[in-house]
Amino acid sequence: MPAFLSTADPGFAADFAALLAAKREAAPDVQAEVARIIEAVRTRGDEALIDLTRRFDRLELTAGTLALARDEIAAAAGRVAPEDRAALELAAARIRAYHERQRPSDASWTDATGATLGWRWTAVDTAGLYVPGGTAAYPSSVLMNAIPARVAGVGRLVMCVPAPDGTVNPLVLVAATLAGVDEVFRIGGAQAIAAMAYGTATVPAVDKIVGPGNAWVAAAKRQVFGQVGIDTIAGPSEVLILADAGNDPDWVALDLLAQAEHDASAQAILITDDAGFGRAVAEAVAARLGTLPRGAIAGASWAAHGAVITVRDWAEAVALADRIAPEHLEILTADPEALAARIRHAGAIFLGPWTPEAIGDYAGGPNHVLPTARAARFASGLSVIDFLKRTTLARMTPGALAAIGPAAERLAAAEGLQAHGLSLRARLERLNRLPPDPAGGGPAT
């Protein structure tokens, strides 16, 4: 059974704090092993990749077969049902259209001193995408990670996907083609992250690595950060639903289970202003669990980490939601927009009963790579911005330097950085020897 809490109970504050503090993921300590794998790939390159792939994926490769050939990808695509391809195409088009609106603009202006200031945006040259592989299929992850990179203008996009016993899911390869991935390598785990971070004779080094993975992949991303950029270290999935009694309990139950079935560490929480409705949803969850192929996983998640919280009013619900800072937030109330406007911390918000979180996982348009474990307090979901760098621009005229240079010189002296001050003083002294500019604005050049 999930936890049943009520803000009217005397012990609610302590119970809610315990819910927030509960550790939901017991990741194995793999740091030392991952460090050895990274060092092996960094020093031995393709040879290490071949050895590690044989060891972990039971697949014999050569330097020439680390990458999937175009005819292999095409053959795999031919095994995909037309209906599945059409669904991927629709999702890709919607994701691309949404992310194209995220492209920021360059800016430039001249201030009152005559200084020209601004910024410009440029994409990283090469990005790497990690995709879990084998019998599991995550084509939606390919689209969500690769399409923003392409929209941003990344010049080269490479993908690593493990192929245990030689198996790569065809849907993943179709998604890679639709998203514009340039090269696909059949390597996985920490060794794939190391290869993309440092490069080998066959696998190009990238500037940023994105995509989900297991504990070894997460540890490797932590260890190579700084050599390359990374998106995030994602934790177990989570959903918070704010729902009143005007909803169908079964629909709400299904939305909770849609997160719980991810894994036993996932979390699904319902906040409602009607205790009877909360009990009805819990009963619907129990009824549905026996019908799901992943019911054992969902049941373990619901029992260990699920919660039904009854509040006295929606102001309490908003305050609790902001403390939870959920990855996914569904608002199923009479006026969801009004309630959403009061929420400060959430990775993604889904408004109204016809917008289940599951639509956002696949074809809604916004990205499904979102901050977990309360990181929505300070982080955002993956976007075009993650593949761009902002470079600032500044150009001083003689008049501008004359106006603001003395202040900079004073600050350099205050910090004890003599050369900084002298670099300014040399120019200011030159300006002092110049005749005034007849047009105004300081000394003439």
Q: Looking at residues 227-238, what average pLDDT do you find?
A: 93
Q: Are residues 366 and 424 in the same domain?
A: no
Mean pLDDT of 79-87: 96
Same domain, 206 and 258: no
What pLDDT does residue 147 have?
A: 98
pLDDT score of 14 more than 60? yes
Number of domains into which the chain is organized? 3
Q: What is the pLDDT of residues 152-187, one digit of tens each?
A: 999 999 999 999 999 999 999 999 999 999 999 999
Q: What is the pLDDT of residue 372?
A: 95
Closest by CA to 146, choosing from 165, 161, 168, 166, is: 161
| Residue 47 placed within a domain | yes
| Residue 25 falls inside a structural domain | no
Looking at residue 433, what is its pLDDT?
84
pLDDT of 296 above 70: yes
Q: What is the mean pLDDT of the chain?
A: 95
**Mean predicted confidence (pLDDT) in 218-231:** 96
Which one of the listed residues 183, 238, 261, 327 is annotated catalytic?
327
Decide if 443 contacts 436 (C-beta within 8 A): yes
Final residue belonging to a domain, choices 198, 230, 262: 230
Residue 254 belongs to some domain of the structure: yes
* Active-site position among 99, 262, 305, 328: 328
225, 310: one domain = no
Q: Are residues 50 and 174 in the same domain?
A: yes
* DSSP 8-state code for residue 395: E
CATH number at residue 82: 3.40.50.1980
Instruction: Look at residue 22 and tell me if it is in a domain.
Output: no
Q: What's the pLDDT tens digit per position in 257-278?
A: 999 999 999 999 999 999 999 9
Question: Any idea which of 15-24, 338-347, 410-419 has the lowest mean pLDDT?
Answer: 15-24
The CA distance from 418 to 363, in Å, is: 58
194 and 152 housed in the same domain: yes
109's CB contacts (< 8 A; 6+ apart) are 116, 117, 118
Instruction: Categorize the per-residue pLDDT at 445 as very low, low, confident or very high, splitting at 50, 70 and 90.
Output: low
What pLDDT, on the 0 to 100 scale, is given for residue 77? Answer: 87
292 part of a folded domain: yes
Single residue among 181, 207, 230 that ends a domain in this structure = 230
pLDDT confidence bin for 137, thresholds 50/70/90: confident
pLDDT at 25: 73
Per-residue pLDDT at 311: 98
User: Contact 192/130 with Cβ under 8 angstroms?
Assistant: yes
Same structural domain, 249 and 142? no
- The whole-number pLDDT of residue 209 equals 98
211 plus 262 within the same structural domain: no
User: In this structure, are 75 and 220 located in the same domain?
Assistant: yes
Q: Mind listing the pLDDT tens digit for each residue in 21-55?
A: 998 876 778 999 999 999 999 999 999 999 999 99
Q: Quick count: other Cβ atoms within 10 Å of Cβ 296?
A: 12
Cα 431 from chain centroid (whole Å): 50
* Contact by Cβ (8 Å): 50, 64: no
Domain boundary among 182, 205, 230: 230
> What is the pLDDT at residue 29?
86
Q: What is the pLDDT of residues 429-443, one digit of tens each?
A: 999 887 766 555 566
Give one word for 303, left, alpha or beta, with left for phi > 0 and alpha for psi -120 to 50: alpha
443 within some domain: no
Active site residue 345: no
Give yes or no for residue 196 having a pLDDT over 90.
yes
In this structure, is residue 386 part of a structural domain? no
Residue 1 placed within a domain: no
By residue range, what is the domain housing residue 286? 235-378
Q: Is 273 found in the same domain as 240?
A: yes
Indicate if 306 and 423 belong to the same structural domain: no
Same domain? 425 vs 319 = no
Annotated catalytic, 420? no
For 211-247, the three-class secondary structure string (H helix, E strand, C coil) is CCCCHHHHHHHHHHECCEEECCCCCCCEEEEEECCCC
The per-residue pLDDT for 60 is: 96
Give the per-residue pLDDT at 432. 87
279/246 same-domain check? yes
Positions of E strands within 111-230: 116-123, 126-130, 156-160, 183-185, 208-210, 229-230
Residue 343: per-residue pLDDT? 98
